[in-house]
Amino acid sequence: MRELTFLLSLPNLLSLSRIPLGAAFWLVLGPTARGSIWAFGVMGLAALTDVLDGYLARRQAQRAGGPTEPDGGVGAWLDPICDKLFVAAVLAAIIVRRHPVPQIIALILTRELVQLPLGIAYRFIPTLRTWLRYDFRASLLGKAATVAQFLAIAALILDHPATATLAVIAFALGIAALADYMRRAIRDRKSVV
């Protein structure tokens, strides 16, 4: 019951709202770049929920004098999973409606294809949690990768000539961010052991 209460906190509900926003993106994305304003509106709303959930979670933790949830917080692992699911829904809609070059999608999606299963495995396999101390909080590099990813997606929606370049940048920053997350997990493990 306590886990359900934490799951239904305002920051976590904001994270969870990105799942139906992914479905909404499917509804508003048209077959051409013309009229993409609604798709950008959904992406903007998803970005706003991402900023607000982190802000509200930090405020709750400050008021409580530390973490407000057990096990490092439901939001610590729920937020990045909801982010990945939203990005996957957006890219799936673009694939179905726009038929872009598959290599572009692969470059943009690489970080999610690697990080999502790692995050889920870490959460649900206790042995991994004893071996690593994975910090789900976004690093500066992770935030830069997310910005590059959304710029690449925006270029893809608009069928902009810079799409391939932005996809390569998103890929490079995404891989660098994953390497940084793993480095932190191993370093933090060593400091605990």
Phi, psi of 160 (to 5 degrees): -85, 145
DSSP string, 4-38: HHHHTSHHHHHHHTHHHHHHHHHHH--SSSTTTHH
- Going by C-alpha positions, the residue among 90, 73, 62 that lies closest to residue 12 is 73
C-alpha angle 71-76-77 in degrees, rounded to nearest 5 = 90
- Model pTM? 0.78
pLDDT digit string (tens) for the chain, length 193 residues: 555 555 678 999 999 999 999 999 999 998 888 778 999 999 999 999 988 988 888 888 778 776 544 445 677 778 888 888 898 899 999 999 999 999 999 999 888 888 777 777 777 877 766 666 666 566 789 889 989 999 999 999 999 999 999 999 999 999 999 888 878 777 766 554 4
- Predicted pLDDT at 129: 67
